[in-house]
Amino acid sequence: MNVLWIFAHPESRSFGGSLRDEGVRALREQGAEVRESDLYAMKWNPVVDADDFGSAAGSDRLFVGPTSKTALLTGELSADIRAEHEKLAWADTVIVQFPLWWYGMPAILKGWFDRVFVKGFAYGVQRPDGRTARYGEGALAGKRAMVVLTTGTSQAAIGPRGINGEVSEILFPLQHGALWYTGMSVLPPLTICGADRASAEQYDVAAEALRERLRTLSTQDPIPFRHQNGGDYDDNLVLRDDLAPGRRGMGVHLDV
Amino acid sequence: MNVLWIFAHPESRSFGGSLRDEGVRALREQGAEVRESDLYAMKWNPVVDADDFGSAAGSDRLFVGPTSKTALLTGELSADIRAEHEKLAWADTVIVQFPLWWYGMPAILKGWFDRVFVKGFAYGVQRPDGRTARYGEGALAGKRAMVVLTTGTSQAAIGPRGINGEVSEILFPLQHGALWYTGMSVLPPLTICGADRASAEQYDVAAEALRERLRTLSTQDPIPFRHQNGGDYDDNLVLRDDLAPGRRGMGVHLDV
């Protein structure tokens, strides 16, 4: 198993940092190869701009999508982006670990997706039949991904009727809109609440939960997101009326 | 009316950039005062780290929340963060305009919230009765906010059963989890599809839609998010069983 562990926390001595260390060690003990993208340690630049695209950017109005595709094809993408592409090509499994900030990824991690997932690689890829390869197909098809999330909120408050919204829905843009979009099979997330206030005993429980999830990385069932091109959606990419009839919302995109 | 217009796009000559110009002009013609946070033009730093907090950070393990609160109270927050606080204090209305990237905000904008919304200001504020002031109460209560969104996707594909998820749910972390969280009344978003491929006629339609929304900024009904401390949630911040009975998901947090 080749695992890329992406980590976004400003403090390596944090609860999250310790979990990351624990996870990487556990994987290696299982015999996995592990490479890391520790975004704070790398001083990752999260801001998409013309400098990402070399001479492809030119001086006219910048269209991010097509310009990124040109730079991808001509090899002119910024070296830090190309390095992440190389890691992704190498990996069969991707862990995305972060603390939940304002119900989303820290900016440094959001900007990893913004910059690395360029057009022609992560989106805008045509299949031979003219449909777009995404949501279950694409550059990263065949790989597995798992989110490891730490948060200060309580389990109840991110539960099905918790005030913050349910964690599966908070993560929908990432898990469905980025990981599944590019073809990856997405395992259920590991969510650890109350991280900054945790006792040593609570840390041990979290670390064991993580080790257990890492032991079953290759066998656990992924979230059953629907495939775009599997017949469930019409030509406007709207779910067929006879599937999840009368319902709306993120849950309809699960084939359950 | 004092309007703060936050804008996050790498290209001022884009469809979004033209809309921003149009919106600022229209507001001024209405007699409003407008200030801007054009994050790319400002070269806004979106990455939270110890440098935000002056001597409050020290050299021990960094706890972002409490350290940010200390720095807020001692006046040691980074000057760029304090400048945004001053703009927010001045504004009665906040426009948040961005292109939808990977079903979320561009990193530079996510990092505006990560860095500006520090503890003691945007969260972790106690009411006299010991409950936390948030979701309808807080530092920004009394202000109005509106999202202006441009996206390459079609209206159908971000509709109620569209494959990308419904736009109101994609925006839930921002609109509910950040804007409403800090007390702002959130107006329905203005969503403009197909921005990068738009014709001049389509631009004119979008610009008129924007002007119409700006004319009614102070009178339009906000999204009816539930108040945390209004009696709808129990002590665990879970919605009472008798409200939206049997339902789950983001929609239950609307009082409709």
> Which residues of B fall within a CB distance of 8 Å from A247?
161
pLDDT confidence of residue B81 = 98
Closest C-alpha to B9, from B83, B94, B101, B91:
B101
Q: Quick check: A246 contacting B, CB < 8 Å?
A: no
Closest C-alpha to A98, from A28, A165, A146:
A146
Cβ separation of B154 and A228 shorter than 8 Å?
no
Non-local (6+) Cβ contacts of B120 within 8 A are: B68, B69, B72, B73
Contact A187, A209 (CB under 8 A): no
Range A67-76 contact pairs with CB under 8 angstroms and sequence separation of 24 or more: A68/A118, A68/A119, A68/A120, A69/A118, A69/A119, A69/A120, A69/A124, A71/A118, A72/A118, A72/A119, A72/A120, A72/A121, A73/A120
Averaged pLDDT of chain A = 96
pLDDT confidence of residue A195 = 81
Only one residue has tokens 């907090």, namely B53
For an interface test with B, the pick among A68, A114, A163 (most B C-beta atoms closer than 10 Å) comes out as A163
Q: Work out the average pLDDT over A23-48.
A: 98
Q: Quick check: B161 contacting A, CB < 8 Å?
A: yes
Least CB–CB distance from A108: residue in B47, B117, B233? B47
pTM: 0.98
Q: Work out the average pLDDT over B117-143.
A: 94
Contact B161, A248 (CB under 8 A): yes
Q: Quick check: A238 contacting B, CB < 8 Å?
A: yes
Distance from CA of A64 to the nearest CA of B (A): 8
Helices (H) and strands (E) in chain B — how many of each? 7, 6
**B49-96, pLDDT tens digit by residue?**
999 999 999 889 999 999 999 999 999 999 999 999 999 999 999 999
Q: Quick check: A13 contacting B, CB < 8 Å?
A: yes
Q: Is ipTM beyond 0.90?
A: yes
> Which residues of B fall within a CB distance of 8 Å from A203?
none
Homologous superfamily of the A2-221 domain (CATH): Flavodoxin domain (3.40.50.360)
Q: Is the pLDDT of residue B118 over 80?
A: yes
> Which residues of A fall within a CB distance of 8 Å from B135?
163
**B174-233, pLDDT tens digit by residue?**
999 999 999 999 999 999 998 878 899 999 999 999 999 999 999 999 999 999 999 999
Quote the Cα angle for A187-A192-B106, to 5°.
70
Q: Work out the average pLDDT over A153-166.
A: 96
- For B112-180, give the DSSP string: HHHHHS-BTTTBSPBPTTSSB--SS-STTTT-EEEEEEEESS-TGGGSTTBTT--HHHHTHHHIIIIII
User: Higher model confidence: residue A58 or residue B191?
Assistant: B191
Between the CA of residue B196 and those of A69, B15, B199, B208, what are the distances in Å? 15, 7, 9, 18
**Residue ranges of the domains in chain A?**
2-221, 226-256
Length reported for chain A = 256
Between the CA of residue A219 and those of A93, A186, A187, what are the distances in Å? 12, 12, 10
Cβ separation of B237 and A108 shorter than 8 Å?
no
Least CB–CB distance from B173: residue in A61, A170, A239? A170
| Structure tokens, A9 | 């926390």
- Give the largest CA-CA distance in chain B: 58
pLDDT confidence of residue B207 = 97
- How confident is residue A238, by pLDDT bands cut at 50, 70 and 90? very high
Give the chain B residue nearest A115 (alpha carbons): B107
Contact B136, A136 (CB under 8 A): no
pLDDT confidence of residue B223 = 98
pLDDT confidence of residue B48 = 98
B71 C-beta neighbours (distance < 10 Å), count: 24
